[in-house]
Chains A and B, each alone.
Chain A
Amino acid sequence: MDMMPPSSFDRGGPAQPLLIARDLRKHFKVKGGAPGAVVRAVDGVSFTLFKGETLGIVGESGCGKSTLARLLLHLIQPDEGELVFDGDTVAEVRGISVNALRRQVQMVFQDSYSSLNPRMPVQDSVAFGPYVHGKSRSAARQAARDILVKVGLNPDLFGPRYPHELSGGQKQRVNIARALAIEPRMVILDEAVSALDKSVEAQVLNLLRALKANFNLTYLFISHDLNVVRYISDRVLVMYLGSVVELGPVDEIFSRPLHPYTTALLGSRPSMDPANRIEEPPITGDPPSPIDPPSGCRFRTRCPHAEPVCAAKPPVLGEWHDRTSHVAACHLHDPASGHSMARATVGAA
């Protein structure tokens, strides 16, 4: 992991984390459900995003990845929790406003078609951000043309076109340009390449890497595709049913997973070798309902190592301090937890 040179408005210096999320919570009311029933979409998520890194977030469908992304931009109001952006708390009295945050954090959505206005030429969609942030129409248009070049689209050729006249990869390039047009410091990529063909996906991933180096960006990369996350991330955060189960450097997570859920996720990847075919899925069934999650450890209903202690008390994600910490929320890795296999299995996946 090399350090990025500090950008012009990098106030806290390279050591200060760009974004700290503390105990973010969002519960949605269940429509027509029992009174008081809530979906615990994001339930106490904390993590740190360091400057210049790419943090991958993985997890099954419905584990709260996208809700988390929207919470970070305050597109959905968090019920609880705190966001600290480069030393400033967000939307608090003494911190920075949500608008100031949105000036520095942008998002690329999964559906490249619906995230572009179908009645707007793409150059106008890209120019919208700079225009909103006070540039004149012509300056915004020029900024849009410049950034279109940076994402590999000829502005004369593609700028005046409508989204339906572009391919999926081209549209996603436009979306990346739209996110970068207001020169953010951080970009949230919510399944940004998941809907693309493998070949186009590779092109866009390489483009993202190049742009990150060019603009000193920090990425939060949300995906369900483990290979893609491994390729692009520096660190990985694994989510299960609205909470973090494991956090660590990408190579550690992939070579030495701590949490049984991570092990199962890695084990469920199809093998490239036909002789080494997976005969039985490592985990089966759907995750339990986030309306009424299991007590204690949420993974215990599908975990091969579940014991009474797992139902009795929830495991705590260990302390992390820097980019190399590798922690998991599992009683197996807490010698004091009372789990019969605790410590014995540490590191053995």
Chain B
Amino acid sequence: MASSAVMTQETAPPEEPVVQALKVRGYWASVAYRLRYDPMTVAFGTIVLLIILAAIFAPMIAPFDPYKESIIGRLKPFGWRGHLLGTDELGRDMLSRLIYGARISLLMGVVPVVIATVIGGSLGVIGGFAGKRVNTAIMRTMDVFYAFPSVLLAVAIAGAMGGGIGNGMLALALVFTPAMCRVAETATAQVKNLDFVEAARATGAGTLTILRFHILGNVLGPVFIYASSLVSVGILLASGLSFLGLGVRPPVADWGLMLSTLRQSIYVNPLICALPGVAIFITSVSFNLVSDGIRAAMDVRM
């Protein structure tokens, strides 16, 4: 049965010349390795870390009580009597209020995204993996939410349920869920038709086992990356809600609310009024760039 195209030796010994292997790393170790050599991500990751730490340890870091008002010390410039970033329209220390404000802003940015990731992600994976009918039911329902502009939807929901942190977070979670669902659905549908899922089925594995071992690992990456980019959107939207009076109530320190109350004083001391905006800007840009860096580092096919 010899043929010209293939070697005719009967059997090959089950050994092949040993190829010198590259250093073998685990998945997360190789992600960390790549992140380390990405100065931009490292720099902005440090900023994100500092903001988070500042929010957690606010009572220890803040130089003044963020709620202590002063009739004489209103809208004072940077450095006035030890107030590093000046004072607001009620004479409260701006730096302390910004540090405390990070707590609410981060909470409002992160919690809705986590809720949306869990709910939207599960719905998306189910929709992507299940048959056409389930998929249609889930995805068309999500499309209904999609039809509204996200800011309008958030405002409408928060407005209907009343203000407050809890309702604000719920509104944002509802806004993010359809987008999250779509990302998870797309990622699942892409993986679902690959040969390795069919090979797993051919092994006799059940749907749940396949989902757990073969689908989730491939869907979590894109979902996680999208979630991290949503955090900055969440912070912005939360600030917007507070600005409109639908988020937290005064006198709580929150960046969006501070922006809202300070806007009347913009002609008196514009620099002070811009500070909450700067904080929002830095935080959201940092989150965005870090999620970009993680996206690049998590791509195993480099």
Report which of A118, A160, A227, A251 forms a contact with B6, defined as CB distance below 8 A: A227
Could you give, for residues 221-249 of chain A, a 1 whenever the CB lies within 8 Å of some chain B CB and a 0 otherwise?
A: 00001011011000000000000000000
Contact B301 A164 (CB under 8 A): yes
Given A230-B1, A231-B3, CB of A210 within 8 Å of CB of B11: yes
Please indicate the chain A residues that have their CB under 8 angstroms from the CB of B205 in the complex: 128, 132
Question: Does residue A185 face the partner (Cβ distance < 8 Å to B)?
Answer: no
Please indicate the chain B residues that have their CB under 8 angstroms from the CB of A75 in the complex: 198, 201-202
Could you give, for residues 144-176 of chain A, a 1 whenever the CB lies within 8 Å of some chain B CB and a 0 otherwise?
A: 000001111110011011101100000000010
Please indicate the chain A residues that have their CB under 8 angstroms from the CB of B218 in the complex: 117-119
Report which of A117, A119, A231 forms a contact with B2, defined as CB distance below 8 A: A231
Contact A73 B214 (CB under 8 A): no
Contact B195 A99 (CB under 8 A): no
Could you give, for residues 173-190 of chain A, a 1 whenever the CB lies within 8 Å of some chain B CB and a 0 otherwise?
A: 001001100100000000
Contact A114 B195 (CB under 8 A): yes
* Most A Cβ at <10 Å: residue of B16, B19, B27, B196: B196
The CA-CA distance from A179 to B7 in the complex, in Å, is 24
Question: Does residue B209 face the partner (Cβ distance < 8 Å to A)?
Answer: yes
Given A107-B202, A157-B21, A161-B24, CB of A203 within 8 Å of CB of B11: no
- A104: min CB distance to chain B, Å: 10
Please indicate the chain B residues that have their CB under 8 angstroms from the CB of A213 in the complex: 11
- Interface residues on chain B, size class: 35 or more
Could you give, for residues 179-202 of chain B, a 1 whenever the CB lies within 8 Å of some chain A CB and a 0 otherwise?
A: 000000000000000111011111
Report which of A117, A179, A207, A227 forms a contact with B214, defined as CB distance below 8 A: A117
Could you give, for residues 310-333 of chain A, a 1 whenever the CB lies within 8 Å of some chain B CB and a 0 otherwise?
A: 000000000000000000000000
Question: Does residue B204 face the partner (Cβ distance < 8 Å to A)?
Answer: yes
The CA-CA distance from A232 to B10 in the complex, in Å, is 11
Contact A231 B301 (CB under 8 A): no
Please indicate the chain B residues that have their CB under 8 angstroms from the CB of A194 in the complex: none
Could you give, for residues 1-39 of chain B, a 1 whenever the CB lies within 8 Å of some chain A CB and a 0 otherwise?
A: 111111111111111101101101011000000000000
- Interface residues on chain A, size class: 35 or more
Report which of A115, A152, A162 forms a contact with B300, defined as CB distance below 8 A: A162
- A345: min CB distance to chain B, Å: 26
- A160: min CB distance to chain B, Å: 5
The CA-CA distance from A327 to B15 in the complex, in Å, is 40
- A314: min CB distance to chain B, Å: 33
- A69: min CB distance to chain B, Å: 10
Please indicate the chain B residues that have their CB under 8 angstroms from the CB of A207 in the complex: 12, 14
Contact A152 B3 (CB under 8 A): no
Question: Does residue B217 face the partner (Cβ distance < 8 Å to A)?
Answer: yes
Please indicate the chain B residues that have their CB under 8 angstroms from the CB of A179 in the complex: 199
Please indicate the chain A residues that have their CB under 8 angstroms from the CB of B159 in the complex: none
Contact B7 A202 (CB under 8 A): yes
Could you give, for residues 203-243 of chain B, a 1 whenever the CB lies within 8 Å of some chain A CB and a 0 otherwise?
A: 11100010001100110010000000000000000000000
Question: Does residue A219 face the partner (Cβ distance < 8 Å to B)?
Answer: no
Given A118-B300, A160-B24, A164-B301, CB of A102 within 8 Å of CB of B9: no
Please indicate the chain B residues that have their CB under 8 angstroms from the CB of A178 in the complex: 199
Contact A210 B3 (CB under 8 A): no
Contact A117 B204 (CB under 8 A): no
Question: Does residue A103 face the partner (Cβ distance < 8 Å to B)?
Answer: yes
Please indicate the chain B residues that have their CB under 8 angstroms from the CB of A153 in the complex: 16
The CA-CA distance from A157 to B21 in the complex, in Å, is 6
Question: Does residue A198 face the partner (Cβ distance < 8 Å to B)?
Answer: yes
Could you give, for residues 73-95 of chain A, a 1 whenever the CB lies within 8 Å of some chain B CB and a 0 otherwise?
A: 10100000000000000000000
Please indicate the chain B residues that have their CB under 8 angstroms from the CB of A162 in the complex: 27, 300
- A144: min CB distance to chain B, Å: 13
Report which of B5, B12, B213 forms a contact with A128, defined as CB distance below 8 A: B213
The CA-CA distance from A133 to B203 in the complex, in Å, is 8
Question: Does residue A111 face the partner (Cβ distance < 8 Å to B)?
Answer: yes
Contact A115 B204 (CB under 8 A): no
Quick one: closest A residue to B5, CB to CB? A227
Given A109-B198, A119-B300, CB of A251 within 8 Å of CB of B5: no
Please indicate the chain A residues that have their CB under 8 angstroms from the CB of B9 in the complex: 206
The CA-CA distance from A199 to B212 in the complex, in Å, is 38
Contact A102 B202 (CB under 8 A): yes
The CA-CA distance from A106 to B3 in the complex, in Å, is 27
Quick one: closest A residue to B12, CB to CB? A206
Question: Does residue A262 face the partner (Cβ distance < 8 Å to B)?
Answer: no
Question: Does residue A116 face the partner (Cβ distance < 8 Å to B)?
Answer: yes
Quick one: closest A residue to B19, CB to CB? A157
- B132: min CB distance to chain A, Å: 12
Given A75-B202, A103-B204, A109-B195, CB of A272 within 8 Å of CB of B217: no
Contact B11 A206 (CB under 8 A): yes
Given A114-B195, A165-B22, CB of A120 within 8 Å of CB of B217: yes
Please indicate the chain B residues that have their CB under 8 angstroms from the CB of A230 in the complex: 1, 3
Q: Across chains A and B, which 5 residue pairs bring their CB atoms closest together, nearest first?
A: A115-B195, A227-B5, A206-B12, A210-B11, A102-B204
CB<8 Å pairs between A and B, sample of 6: A119-B218, A151-B14, A206-B11, A209-B11, A231-B3, A272-B4
5 additional contacts (CB under 8 A) given A114-B195, A206-B10: A128-B200, A128-B214, A203-B12, A228-B3, A251-B1
- Residue ranges of B at the interface with A (Cβ–Cβ < 8 Å): 1-16, 18-19, 21-22, 24, 26-27, 194-196, 198-205, 209, 213-214, 217-218, 221, 300-301
